[in-house]
Structure formats: C-alpha cells, structure tokens
Amino acid sequence: MPKRRVVITGMGIVSPVGNTTSDAWINILNGKSGITQITRFDASTFASQIAGEVRDFDITQYLSAKDARRMDLFIHYGMAAAIQAVKDAGIEDSTGSGLDADRIGVNIGSGIGGLPMIESTDNTYHEGGSRRISPFFIPSTIINMIAGNLSILFNFKGPNLAIVTACSSATHCIVVSARMIEYGDTDVMIAGGAESCVTPLAVGGFASARALSMRNNDPDTASRPWDRDRDGFVLGEGAGILVLEEMEHAKRRGAKIYAELAGSGMSADAYHMTAPSHDGEGAARCMTNAIKNAGVHATEVDYINAHGTSTQLGDIAETIAVKCCFGDHAKKLVVNSTKSMTGHLLGAAGGVEAIFTILAIHHQIAPPTINIFNQDPQCDLDYVPNTARNMKIEVAMSNSFGFGGTNGTLILRKM
C-alpha cells in the first residue's frame, strides 16, 4: 500500500516565551529569553535557581475551574495547547462537521508527568494521613490523561495513547501518529507533548546530576547552546501540540496547510543512561533514517532546529552527528537552538520545536540562537547567532534526543 502524505493543519503552544503560537513565534524571532529566577517555589538554597516558567497562564480560558482542579499542571498545559491546535485546525466539532470521530486520534506524551501534584500529595499524606489523599490523585498525574481528557472533550474516538521517551517524547508521539495516518489507521491525529517539572525534586535532581546551568545571576544568558562557556541546560515547561492530517482529507475539507511532515526517523545510542556517545553515532543514524524515510537527499535540507541543550557533551555530539550525517553539506546548513530562549521543555520540547520549525518554513525565516558570545571551536556550524535570518527553507529537520539514548527526528517540507 502506498504511503499516504501527512500535513500539519493545526498548532498550539504554551511556553516560557508565550502562551499562544503567535506570541511565542514573535518572541522567538525577536530573540527574547523566557528564562528567569524561579518563582514557583523558594529555590534560594538550590544550586540552580533559574527556569523557563510559564507565566500569565489561565487554565479557565480553556476548562472549567472544577475540571481543572482534577488535573496536574502538565495536563493544564497540554489541554490548553491541544485545544488551541484543534480550534486552529477547525476540527472541534467532530460530529457536526462531517468528520469521522472514529478516525481522529490523540497521542500526547510527557517525559515525567504529574510531578507537582505527586510532590504536593506526598506532603499532604505525611501531614494528614492517607485519608487526605484526593480521589483524583491518580488520574490527575498519569501521563496518558492529556490524551484521555482531550478525547472526552471533543469526542475523538480514534487511537488514544501517550508515548514516554524522556526528552524525545513529543517527537516520538508525532512520529508514531504520522505513521498511523500514512498507513491508513487514522485520518487525523493530535500529537505532541507537555511538561511541568519546575519543582524542588526535578530541579534538585537535575542539579545533582550536574546537568543544569548555575548562572543564577544572569538568567537571560544562562542557556547558551554552542557557546564555549555554556554550563548546562535550563529547565523549561509548557506544551507543543500539532494536528496531523492525511493530505487529501485536509484538502477535501478546505483546511489550511502549514507544511508537510515528509518523514521521520528513530534510533537508540545503546551507549549510556544520560550521556550521548562522543561520536554522535546514534543521532547521526536517526537523522539519516529520517532523510531516507522522507525520500529526500541530504543536500535538500536547508535548516535544522537542533536539540541543542547547552550542555558541554550534548552540543559537541550533535555537531559531530550533523557533520557525520550531512558530510560537506553540513557547512551549508543553518542550525539553531530555540532552547536558548525557552530552556529545555523535556517531554514537551519536540512539540514546541516542531512548531517553530514549521513556522520557519511557513514564514521563510530561521530563528536565532541567542547567547552565542564565544562560539565553541568544536561547534563549528552556522548556528544563526543572536539575530533571525530571512532565508529560503524548502526542507527542514527537527531533532530530539533523550536520556536512555532515545532519538527522534522529523523532516518537514514546504507545501
């Protein structure tokens, strides 16, 4: 059976740089950092005291206060971004608009899930005993409940799932969803990821692993991918959700099409729990798999939204991987990291960054990587330092790599 083509017809974002797609995109193009001192809790005794927090967010714009009380914050973010995406695509009325609800599915993941409510419920238990635990505690914190709640809200009766693969979660949700459409299982999938881990345990745990930046007195410049003086990633939070749709299905209903999801790839490093292999072999293989799956040549790729976390090992390994995958063409590529502005949204990163990649194609402009003051000689590609760049983008790539050596890559194409 020939592979059906998949396009993007809706997008939604909640992020440190804006709580709508348009606001986030404007701030990204302007190089505006969303990283500040942590306000969610008292972080004054923590080694890392900065994060990309979501600000000015009101869940009651999307859900009733009663329903919202039964959900952890990561579900709030995921639901808000997904509702934005569904409305953007014009599929909110799945029964009255001629759509087949049985063929609309949801696949929204998270790397960690309901950690804020897990921490607060643990405190409640120790202070007041087991009878104080909310009956909504479990469904408020488990990762598949964004997909579950969204399907209930809109009567989407297709496949309903959530993929959990650390920082590759959202990308893998998009990959698997696209393939379900390609091979006829569904016509529409709402896919991406959400995360809210600006909590004492998460910040303390990542800091103990020496993964976080400790540039506490200068949060705006703390996330500095490819810079010689980078000292770790900055924790972020939010959600990025896409509506994926079979191309002919989208055309029949007159949907706007942002771009085509031409292909994708996955791989494993099979190397280390948290560190990439020094030669970037797993990431390179993932990118190569995606290029082959998309049916394009490596020289057709114009732009990469890199994983680019601002860690010493990760940035070098990804640079090596890009050169391994693309050969001489690597020097002609434009590569950036929007994490320099958002921080690292963990399981939501791939969804948010896929949207930025789609918008880069749609508007023919590459966002900057901010905070490149002294480019690392070992990171020697064109990273769009500090200022957005108008350019021709026909084919673009978005990378996500996660703990456990799990990798995902998307290939997006201008329509």
Query: Comparing C-alpha atoms, which of 295, 4, 346 is closest to residue 178?
Result: 4
**Catalytic positions, please?**
167, 307, 344
Query: Comparing C-alpha atoms, which of 402, 192, 111, 378 is closest to residue 283?
Result: 402
Helical pair 21-29 and 349-363, crossing angle rounded to 10 deg = 70
Place of tokens 């579950």: 148
β-strand 406-413 against 395-402: which pairing, if any? antiparallel
State residue 253's pLDDT score.
94
CA 232 to chain centre: 18
Residue 409 near residue 317 (C-beta atoms within 8 A): no
Query: Comparing C-alpha atoms, which of 226, 137, 188, 217 is closest to residue 6?
Result: 188
Q: How many CA atoms lie within 13 A of 197 on its CB side?
A: 26
Q: In what order do the strands lie in the sheet with 334-336?
A: 160-161, 104-109, 188-195, 238-246, 6-14, 259-268, 406-413, 395-402, 303-305, 334-336
Domains of the chain, first to last: 7-252 (3.40.47.10), 262-413 (3.40.47.10)
Q: What is the pLDDT along the chain (415 residues), one digit of tens a residue?
A: 678 999 999 999 999 999 999 999 999 999 999 999 999 999 999 999 999 999 999 999 999 999 999 999 999 999 999 999 999 999 998 776 789 999 999 999 999 999 999 999 999 999 999 999 999 999 999 999 999 999 999 999 999 999 999 999 999 999 999 999 999 999 999 999 999 999 999 999 999 999 999 999 999 999 999 999 999 999 999 999 999 999 999 999 999 999 999 999 999 999 999 999 889 999 999 999 999 999 999 999 999 999 999 999 999 999 999 999 999 999 999 999 999 999 999 999 999 999 999 999 999 999 999 999 999 999 999 999 999 999 999 999 999 999 999 999 999 999 9
Q: Which two tokens stand for residue 109?
A: 């993941």
Residue 14 near residue 196 (C-beta atoms within 8 A): no
Helical pair 349-363 and 169-182, crossing angle rounded to 10 deg = 60
Q: What is the distance between the alpha carbons of residues 61 and 394, in angstroms, rounded to a whole number?
A: 36
Residue 145 near residue 78 (C-beta atoms within 8 A): no
Q: Residues 9-27, buried b or exposed e (16+ Cβ, 10 A)?
A: bbbbbbbbbbbbbeebbeb
> Angle 244-20-80 (CA atoms, 0-180°, nearest 5)?
70
Sign of CA dihedral 200, 201, 207, 212: negative
Query: Comparing C-alpha atoms, which of 390, 330, 360, 344 is closest to residue 225?
Result: 344
Query: Comparing C-alpha atoms, which of 26, 57, 28 is closest to residue 40?
Result: 57
Q: What is the distance between the alpha carbons of residues 208 and 214, in angstroms, rounded to a whole number?
A: 12
Q: What is the distance between the alpha carbons of residues 153 and 198, in angstroms, rounded to a whole number?
A: 27
Sign of CA dihedral 360, 159, 110, 16: positive
Dihedral, 201, 207, 213, 219 alpha carbons, nearest 10:
30
Place of tokens 């402009």: 365
Place of tokens 């972020």: 236
State residue 96's pLDDT score.
67
CB atoms within 10 A of CB 215: 22
Place of tokens 């469904």: 139
Per the confidence metrics, is the pTM higher than 0.95? yes
Q: What is the distance between the alpha carbons of residues 367 and 383, in angstroms, rounded to a whole number?
A: 10
What share of residues in the chain are helix, strand, coil (percent, to 5)? 40, 20, 40
State residue 289's pLDDT score.
98
